[in-house]
Amino acid sequence: MSEVSPFDDITLKDIPTILPMLSVSEQEKLLTELEHLNKLKQQKKAQTRFIDFVKQMREECIAEMYESPTDKIQQLSGRILSYDQILTMSTWGKHSPSE
């Protein structure tokens, strides 16, 4: 069973108020938690940018199919399928890739 952190219910708005009340070790722990939070936010932003890029590429392939010769349609279909697989893996359990 994991230990409950006293920082679990603190919001960013609370930090200026409580910071002076914390010991040096508690301030260090809070800083560590904030750095971890920042890292998670950066990862989420990168993932979101990547998924948005994949969605854009998928839509471009679909649009390209309308004006492509028959021999290129199979190649575009394969690319669309690959993009769909990436989107499906990235949204496992959330929603369909077309959302």
- What value does the mean pLDDT of the chain take? 85
Please give the full DSSP string across 24-51, using - where no structure is assigned.
Answer: HHHHHHHHHHHHHHHHHHHHHHHHHHHH
CA distance 25 to 6: 13
Mean pLDDT of 75-94: 86
Share of the chain above pLDDT 90, in %: 46
pLDDT tens for each residue of 60-78: 999 999 889 988 999 999 9
The pLDDT tens digits of the residues spanning 27-38 come to 888 889 889 999
Query: pLDDT class for 26, splitting at 50, 70, 90?
Result: confident
The whole-angstrom separation of Cα 59 and Cα 76 is: 11
